[in-house]
Amino acid sequence: MTENYTPAADREDAVESLRLWAEKYSADNGHSPLAFVHSYGCQQNVSDGEKIKGMLAKVGYDFTDDTDSAQLILLNTCAVRENAEDRVFGNIGNFKKLKEQNRELVIGICGCMAQQKHVAEKIKASYRQVDLVFGTFAYNDMYSMLWEVISKHKRLFNQSEACTEIDESMTQLREDKVRAFLPIMYGCNNFCTYCIVPYVRGRERSRKPEAVIAEVRSLVEQGYKEITLLGQNVNSYEYGFPALLREIDKIEGKYRIRFMSSHPKDATKELIDAIIDCEHVCTHLHLPVQAGSNRVLKAMNRRYTVEKYMEMIDYARSRVPDFSFTTDLIVGFPGETYEEFCETKEVIKRVKYDNIYSFVYSRRSGTPAAKFEDHVTDKQKGLWLRELLLEQREITSEWFGRFVGRTVEVLVEGEGRTGEGWLTGKNDENIIVEVKADKKYIGEFVRVRITKAMNWALSGELVSE
């Protein structure tokens, strides 16, 4: 039976029922029911996936990376680019055989992609192996929905658009014990013409500062070394983002604070000052420009000009001459000409980004830009992208040279690409640094004297304390 979900069970009753079911499953099978949870896309999605795992652990699930052994498969999806959707549908198709082999297997799709009604209808009609589909506003209903699927063998679909209160009781089950993602707000009010996020994430809702500060303090006490504050636009945090950074910075301990994303229309000198003044906040700003043409920016509904954007760059560089910037760029936005694309190349030359994250425009159904006329072929856009990346490679090769001879602090993340015995991590500016050192340093801060700059990373020597 397939139906749209309406709240039918008390949340606590569902929690208790799932706990009892998990206990019986464990007694009968010698192990807890296993869940395969995979998140696609951005850091916000990764954070949501960690909360989903925390919810499932609360009722007795354990976790597996093997779909063949799972009693629950849950894909937490992304809707930003088309290839992410294609991967999800490909995986759903592959799960059909698993469902035929195990009729008790529960297969669920959640997150941004699942919030879209046309996606839910496609799954409902063509992917009968999927039992549960719920969007970004339905996490509070997950226990009740899951229990109905398990106990009544229903197929449930929930694309509710009702914004619920932020549940501060949810515990994230973090696998990484060194770096943590911490959302400070949800949703977006910007409605860039190419972006589906406001439609699938809803309007902005900010967490209270005291809740954010308490969570940061707890993570620092647990030994986390790097905490990334998340929001679709942290600069529109309701209670003042620069003020939040300064309050967090007062927490004692050895840790770093990063954040993303930062919308240029709301970036201020107060933000730059807070980044530079705060001891724990990394001296790096990811400031997505998206395009170097004012006409294209207007068509994107970005609500700033290149001149306004450069004011923030120039102010930061007036305080720290080599302040680190990275950015996002869309190549081949509908209607963009080659001459306008060349304006984007001029921006990256002027700014000297440490890195760019650039993509060919991806059409998203339901956004205004999906209806814009577009006369440039995908092949041509691909050539533009290659041209942009080659330009950035030259900039990076030269700009990274400013670090040679300096000693920088690096949070070591794992084994490096350079070769046997090399470790990799990132410095304060979020640049990859490779260093030859013992694996005991993984997860720790080390000091590295930079001896070489490449077009993708720095390398250096471990400095003894």
- Amino acid identity for residue 201 in this structure: R
Sign of the CA dihedral with 388 first, then 389, 392, and 397 last:
negative
Q: Is 163 a known ligand-binding residue? A: no
112 is in an annotated binding site: yes
Q: What residue has token string 């932020």? A: 166
Structure tokens at 302: 């970005």
Closest CA to 462 of 407, 402, 413: 407
Per the CB < 8 A criterion, the answer to whether 226 and 180 are in contact is: yes
The verdict on whether residue 188 carries a ligand-binding annotation is: yes
Separation CA 91–CA 84 (nearest Å):
11
Question: Among residues 306, 309, 297, which one has the least CA distance to residue 369?
Answer: 297
At residue 15, what is the residue type?
A: V
- Quote the CA–CA distance of 286 and 328 in Å, as a whole number: 8
Q: Which residue from 381, 396, 463, 464 is spatially nearest to 430, judged by alpha carbons?
A: 396
The answer to whether the annotation marks 195 as part of a ligand binding site is: yes
β-strand 324-331 against 355-360: which pairing, if any?
Answer: parallel
Nearest residue to 105 via CA among 114, 113, 95: 95
| Binding residue ranges for [4Fe-4S] cluster | 42, 78, 112, 188, 192, 195
| Binding residue ranges | 42, 78, 112, 188, 192, 195
